[in-house]
Chain A
Amino acid sequence: MKRLLVAMLALALFGLVGAQTLVYGVSGPPSSLDSVDSQDGNSLVVSGQITETLIGFAPGSTELIPRLATEWSSNEDGSVWTFELREGVTFHDGTPFNAEAVAWNFSRWNDPEHPYSFRDQGKTYTPWTWVFGGPKGDGSILDEVVAIDENTVEFRMNQPSPFLPAQLAAIYFQIDSPTAVMEAGVDYGTPAVGSVGTGPFKFVEWREGQGVVVERNDDYWGGPAKVERVFFRPITEPTARLAELQAGTIDIAVLLAADDLQAVESNPDLEAVTAEAELNVGYLAFHQANEPLDDPLVRQAIAHAIDRQAIVDAFYQGLGVVAEDHLPPTLFGHGEPWPYDYDPERARELLAEAGYPDGFSTQLWYMPVSRPYYPAPQPIAETMASYLADVGIDAQLMTEDWTTYLADYSTGKFPMYMLGWNADYADPDNFLMTFFGPDAQENQLGWDSPEVTEALTTARQVADPDRRAELYSQVVNTVAEEVPSIPMAHNRSLNAVRSNIEGFVMSPLGYSSVSLHEVSKE
Chain B
Amino acid sequence: MTGYAIRRLLGLIPVLVGVTLIIFAITRVIPGDPAIAMLGQRSSPALRERLRQDLGLERPLWLNMAAARESGDFADLFDSQYFDYMTDLVQGDLGRSIFSNIPVATSLAARFPATVELTIFAMLFATAVGIPAGVWAALRRGTAADTAVVTLALSGVSFPVFWLAIILIYIFSVNLGWLPPGHRLSPIVQFSLEPITGFYVLDSLLRWNLSALWDALKHLVLPAIALGTIPLAIIVRMTRSSMLEVLGQDYVRTARSKGLEERRVVNKHALRNALLPVVTVIGLSFGTLLSGAILTETVFSWPGIGRWVFDAISARDYPIIQGGVIFIATIFVVVNLVVDLAYGLIDPRIQYE
Residues in A lying within 8 Å of B, measured CB to CB: 5, 8-9, 11-13, 15-17, 21, 23, 28-32, 34, 37-39, 119, 121-124, 126, 129-130, 134, 138, 186-187, 189-192, 204-205, 207-211, 213, 231, 233-237, 239-240, 243-244, 246-247, 249-250, 401-404, 406-410, 419, 421, 434, 439, 443
Contact = CB atoms under 8 A, between A and B. Distances in A.
A190 B100 contact: yes
Interface centre among A186, A191, A239, A403 (most CB of B within 10 A): A403
B221 interface: no
Contacts of A122: 55, 96, 98, 101
A406 B9 CA distance: 44
A189 B96 CA distance: 13
Contacts of A250: 187
Interface string B11-47: 0000000000000000000011100111111111101
Interface of B is mostly: helix
Contact of B36 (A121, A123, A406): A406
Interface in B302-339: 303-304, 307-308, 311, 314-316
Contacts of B43: 406-407, 410
B225 interface: no
A233 B214 contact: no
A12 B308 contact: no
B114 A209 contact: yes
15 contacts: A8-B211, A28-B311, A119-B54, A191-B102, A192-B106, A211-B190, A213-B191, A233-B183, A236-B298, A404-B31, A404-B32, A406-B36, A408-B31, A409-B41, A443-B44
Contacts of B41: 406, 409, 419, 421, 434
A134 B49 CA distance: 13
Given A9-B211, A243-B174, 5 more contacts: A138-B50, A187-B101, A190-B102, A190-B106, A243-B173
Contacts of B54: 119, 124
Contact of A39 (B38, B110, B184, B303): B38
Nearest to A188: B101
B36 A403 contact: yes
B277 interface: no
Nearest to A444: B41
B301 A207 contact: no
Interface string B201-218: 000000000111011000
B170 interface: yes
B169 interface: yes
Contact of A129 (B47, B96, B97, B210): B47
B271 interface: no
Contacts of B40: 39, 406
B181 interface: yes
Interface centre among B39, B41, B308 (most CB of A within 10 A): B41
A429 to B, nearest CB: 13
A187 B101 CA distance: 7
A403 B177 CA distance: 39
B51 A208 contact: no
Contacts of B55: 122, 124
Interface of B: 31-33, 36-45, 47, 50-51, 54-55, 96-103, 106-107, 110-111, 114, 166, 169-170, 173-174, 177, 180-192, 210-212, 214-215, 298-301, 303-304, 307-308, 311, 314-316
A246 B174 contact: yes
Contacts of A207: 110, 190, 303
B131 to A, nearest CB: 26
B299 A249 contact: no
Contacts of B169: 240, 243
Contacts of B181: 240, 243-244, 247, 249
A17 B102 CA distance: 30
Contact of A403 (B32, B191, B298): B32
Contacts of A21: 187-188
Contacts of B215: 12
A233 B54 CA distance: 33
Given A240-B181, A243-B173, A443-B44, A403 B316 contact: yes
A15 B192 CA distance: 9
A211 B188 CA distance: 13
A404 B34 CA distance: 11
